[in-house]
Amino acid sequence: MKLVEVELRRIRLPLVAPFRTSFGVETDRDILLVRVTTEAGTRGWGECVAGGLPLYSAEHTAGAQQVIREFLLPRLWRLPEVTAHRLEPALAAVKGHRMAKAALEMAVLDAELRTLGTSLGGWLGAVRDRVPAGVSVGIADSIPELLDAVHGYLGEGYRRIKLKIEPGWDVEPVRAVRERFGDIALQVDANAAYRLPDAAHLAKLDDFDLLLIEQPLADDDLRGHAALAARLRTPICLDESITSARAAADAIALGACALVNIKPGRVGGLLEARRVHDVCAAHGIPVWCGGMLETGIGRAANVALAALPNFTLPGDTSASGRYWRRDLVTEPFVLRGGHVEVPAGPGLGISVDEAWLDEVTSSVERLGPAS
Ligand code: NPQ
Ligand code: MG
């Protein structure tokens, strides 16, 4: 496969409601999309999951665009033959910037699999044609408002509720949700908002039979997570800390986590995401698929990944309507019996709603082998 063009397109898409985490409030996403075109005219789409600001991780949308333009594309154009498997080592010399790399890899893989007529799920090794959906619920202004939000999601059929927590918004909201809704599948995500001395406070969450607590401590604090694990009954799941299959192996060896959240963008792409899955499976560590407020493009990749065998917990693979009034794809992801369907068509298996895309586009940059 040879590419003749790579388009870098920025869009701004308003969320159905503000989404608040320990690191900030998001009201609309500033997203970088990548569209590759092959010599044969086949298109492939990729979505960069970086935030508009570098608050979840060090990457941000504008930075990812610059990295792709200045450092990744020159290495891609030098390849005599472009496939996802050939691209990955070609980009390895560039350190970090995993979300930028993942976006480019997704677009190349989509084009490659469309050419082959193979679905991403089938190609990755999916063992399911639908996956159970969970939902991530942001920090609310009050407990009654939180309970209303959770009530709504349970009514829609979501199979698992994840509450965002931070110091000052943890034990009481969890208690309120548990008391009101009983024996639902419930977990929490701190996005690194605590420190090891908070262990005694976090141990109060042990009363509520949570499935897990996600990333309580700093991204680079594996040893702290191992120490915390010894003081909690609630299992620890890592998100931000797991940046590669090697990081997953290290975290598991240290006893820093009992579960792992996998996001292809966070680990540098779908190929590495599958390796994280495989490392965890080999160690008996269950995984689930995280979410980064993706449009239907990135959501399609997540849902395909979540169909692999060791994804044994519901993911943040919510329906399109959880985030968007109108998704970027012509067939938005919907909840049916608490599940979303794994796209069966070639590549990502989605088609982009070009009219809506043009309406929400803020800039377009087209790059070729000579540019
Ligand atoms: C998480 N996602 O699991 C992330 C955090 C997150 C669904 O909880 C802009 C870009 C806003 C990235 C908000 C969920 C974001 C973002 C939250 C990531 O930790
Ligand atoms: Mg998380």
**How does pLDDT run across 213-245, given as a tens digit for each residue?**
999 999 999 999 999 999 999 999 999 999 999
Q: Is 204 a catalytic residue?
A: no
d(CA 252, CA 235): 13
* Alpha carbon distance 286, 224 (integer Å): 21
Instruction: Give the predicted TM-score (pTM) of the model.
Output: 0.98
Closest CA to 329 of 26, 4, 33: 33
As a whole number of angstroms, the distance between CA 206 and CA 213 comes to 10
What pLDDT score was predicted for residue 168?
Answer: 98
How large is the average pLDDT for residues 131-139? 98
Known catalytic residue at 164: yes
Residue among 242, 235, 229, 231 at smallest CA distance from 268: 242
Where does the chain show beta strands of DSSP type E? 3-21, 24-38, 43-48, 130-132, 134-137, 160-164, 186-189, 213-214, 236-238, 259-262, 287-289, 339-341, 361-367
Q: Which of 2, 101, 162, 164 is catalytic?
A: 164
Burial of 209-242, coded b for 16+ CB within 10 Å and e otherwise, reads ebbbbbbbbbbebbebbbbbbeebebbbbbbbbb
Nearest atom in ligand 1 to the alpha carbon of residue 261 is 3
Q: What kind of fold does domain 3-117+351-367 have according to CATH?
A: Enolase-like; domain 1 (3.30.390)
For tokens 């918004």, what's the residue? 169
**Span from the CA of 78 to the centroid of ligand 1 (angstroms):** 34
For the CA of 56, the nearest ligand: 1
Where in the chain are the domains? 3-117+351-367, 122-341
pLDDT higher than 90, residue 370: no
Across 158-164, average pLDDT: 98
| Cα–Cα distance for residue pair 105/83, rounded to 1 Å | 9
Q: Which pLDDT does position 265 carry in this prediction?
A: 98
Closest alpha carbon to 293 in 98, 115, 9, 30: 30
Contact residues for 55 (Cβ-Cβ < 8 A; gap 6+): 23, 24
Amino acid at 211: L
Residue nearest to atom 16 of ligand 1 (CA): 292
Distance 191 CA to ligand 2 centre (A): 6
- How much distance in Å is there from the Cα of 222 to the middle of ligand 2? 15
- For ligand 1, mutation pick of 13, 15, 20, 21 (most atoms within 8 Å of CB): 21
The domain defined by 122-341 folds into TIM Barrel (3.20.20)
Mean pLDDT of all residues in 323-335: 98
| 182 — pLDDT class (breaks 50, 70, 90) | very high
pLDDT of 104 reads 99
Residue 288's region, left for phi above 0, alpha for psi from -120 to 50, else beta, is beta
Q: Which atom of ligand 1 is nearest to the CA of 291?
A: 7
pLDDT tens digits for range 66-87 = 999 999 999 999 999 999 999 9
Q: In CATH terms, are 3-117+351-367 and 122-341 the same topology?
A: no
- Which of 292, 318, 322 is the pocket-test mutation for ligand 1 (most atoms within 8 Å of CB)? 292
pLDDT tens figures, 184-214: 999 999 999 999 999 999 999 999 999 999 9
**Contact assessment for residue 15 and residue 324, using Cβ atoms and an 8 Å cutoff:** yes
Which of the ligands is closest to the CA of residue 317?
A: 1
Contact assessment for residue 165 and residue 139, using Cβ atoms and an 8 Å cutoff: yes
Residue range 241-281, pLDDT digits in tens: 999 999 999 999 999 999 999 999 999 999 999 999 999 99
Residues with CB under 6 A from ligand 1: 19, 21, 26, 51, 56, 136, 189, 191, 239, 290-293, 316
Q: Kindly give the distance from the C-alpha atom of residue 293 to the centroid of ligand 1, in angstroms, as a whole number.
A: 6
Distance from residue 172's CA to the centre of ligand 2 (Å):
20
Q: Whose CA is nearest to atom 6 of ligand 1?
A: 292
Model confidence pLDDT, tens digit, residues 104-114: 999 999 999 99
Kindly tell me if the per-residue pLDDT of 371 is higher than 90: no
Q: Which residues pair with 213 in a beta bridge?
A: 188, 236
Nearest CA to ligand 1 atom 7: 291
Q: What is the pLDDT of residue 136?
A: 98
